[in-house]
Amino acid sequence: MLDPSISVDDIPNKRLPKHVNIFRQGELSRLVVGVLREADGRPLSTLEIVAAIMEKEGIGSDAKVAIRARVRSNLAYLERSGKVAKVGNRLTAQWHLPLDAD
């Protein structure tokens, strides 16, 4: 089962996933919906939502890439659950609250 001729130094190290806890459980969803509520029905792009969240939470611009990925993923989740609606695709996508919300 274990080959004694294998050098332990030849086995690559296990890579640990890079995970940064920026938001608590459910906090990002509440922030996204809050930003969309404050927009008063005007659709916002993902980057506009990211900028508003970063400003509201006092997060530095060095975390923009990580925040953008989390916000985009969270928007997709919220869309599947019917809490936000999407207009357009890819780079032109904008987000708003559904008309029957609130």
10-62 pLDDT tens trace: 888 888 877 767 888 999 999 999 999 999 889 999 999 999 999 999 988 88
Residue 19 lies in a domain: no
CATH code at 72?
1.10.10.10
Report the number of distinct structural domains present in the chain: 1
- The residue range of the domain holding 74 is 24-96
CA atoms of 87 and 6, how far apart (whole Å): 57
Residue 1 lies in a domain: no
Q: What are phi and psi of 18, to 5 degrees?
A: -85, 110
pLDDT in the model for residue 47? 95
51-100 pLDDT tens trace: 999 999 998 888 899 899 999 999 999 999 999 999 999 889 999 999 87
Confidence of residue 1 (pLDDT cuts 50, 70, 90): low
pLDDT in the model for residue 102? 46
97, HSE (Cβ side, Cα atoms, 13 Å): 16
